[in-house]
Structure 1
């Protein structure tokens, strides 16, 4: 079975650039590069990965493309671009020259305004993605779900994927509002969902596999097996048990599905969505 990790990060740690890695996350205040990930992929029989931006700068996109050029494990890159820039189209045209640049992401969850994504200039930038066959990763929290539904409704032909299940409040056991929002987004056939990042939304030190089942059930039932994909969120998942523990949770959960369905979740959907 072809397996693709659709969501992980690389960085050369810098305390200023990476200020989001706070002191309680000191275990990941260091460099993480393809040579660090390769043994984990090999151990788990994963063929390759999609490297996702972790810093909002043009330098980040160039950094990831540089890594991808020299590393066979990186099948695709999701970079960053300023969607509100006056020269946004020329920037997208520039990045269209790099075959491994598959799409873009903005850290919407960090914007003070939950409706930031609905701003006219941002929406204009997003409207240009389809012209260059780029995807868009939606990084949000439950409070952004209503705005996200309005956002994707405006672009019915754009490929979108929700990162990290939209970060449900697993640690607090809250589900109802998140479930309603996920249901709204799943109605749009051009929206996918990554089953990733869940361990860091639970209690980092005492989570149990059973904590995730209700959330997995909702996502798999809402999106179906053709619009969900595996992502590790390494190395952030090191904070809450690491790559192999998170992977086992998903391996056990998906064991009930047919071989075809498992193949879709573990690799084929990511291949299709990102056109790897």
Structure 2
């Protein structure tokens, strides 16, 4: 089994200022060693390490960790897609086969950034190098994301954290409509990850989360959904095993072959592991 979404960092209060005082539990360092025990207990064989900082230094940091730990099977790094020398940078990173794709924290950007023709041109360059692209956005940005991906028809995309629906309020109608539109694009997959951060951290219910799962699995199907944890961010709500158990319980309705897609096959194919 593959966990398609984890982060590692040496905590820096300035760089990591998004980790506020309410998140004390993750205001510290996190390394692959911290995952050995939960992964062994749950028979998870590895993970995709996803950028948490927007610099090429982050790529070097994750590559160094991957060289030291067999847990990291692939990396989603960061590169400046607006860089006029983008091809030069992508050619450079081609030498590091553990890097499978790229991500920008689009949830911190506005609509104009997402639909900037220069940014879209940057994403279009990725196909030449067989790179994937992770889409990180809030539910109220999905309309712009849809417009963006429609302009790049042959690029493999994956939506992180189900597009961050408002689990807490359960106001899911517009989000569900946008998920349906986005999922109509066959090049977009979705990670079932990160929903605990969008819920009431301490008081969410299984039903609130399963309402979101219903939409994702109905629209994407098990052949385009991947399991991810968003560890260590999800620790603000629950221990690792609680999230895994939730996804495991929900997916009991699927066949053995479909569960294999969700927990390993889709990740292996998408990220070329």
TM over 0.5: yes
Shift in Å, 1:114: 2.4
Map Cα deviations across residues 191-228 of structure 1 (whole Å, 9 max, x no partner).
00000001111110011211111110110010011100
Q: Does 1:191 align with 2:181?
A: no
- Please, what TM-score do these two structures have when normalized by structure 2? 0.99
Q: 1:72: which partner in 2?
A: 70
Q: In the aligned structure 1, how far is the partner of 2:39 from the partner of 2:141?
A: 32
Q: In the aligned structure 2, how far is the partner of 1:34 from the partner of 1:142?
A: 30
Shift in Å, 1:70: 1.4
- Aligned with 2:16 (options 18, 42, 47): 18
Q: Does 1:159 align with 2:156?
A: yes
Q: 1:62: which partner in 2?
A: 60
Q: 1:139: which partner in 2?
A: 136
Map Cα deviations across residues 144-198 of structure 1 (whole Å, 9 max, x no partner).
1111111111111110000000000000111001001101100000000000001
- Please, what TM-score do these two structures have when normalized by structure 1? 0.97
Structure 1 stretches of at least 4 aligned residues deviating more than 2 Å after TM superposition = none
Shift in Å, 1:17: 1.1
Shift in Å, 1:43: 1.0
- Aligned with 1:33 (options 2, 6, 31): 31
Task: Structure 1: state its 5+ residue gaps.
Answer: none
CA contact (8 A) 1:78 1:101 kept: yes
Q: Does 1:98 align with 2:104?
A: no
CA contact (8 A) 1:89 1:125 kept: no
Instruction: Trace 1:1-276 onto structure 2 (pairs within 5 A).
Output: 3-111=1-109, 113-276=110-273
What count of residue pairs does the alignment treat as equivalent?
A: 273
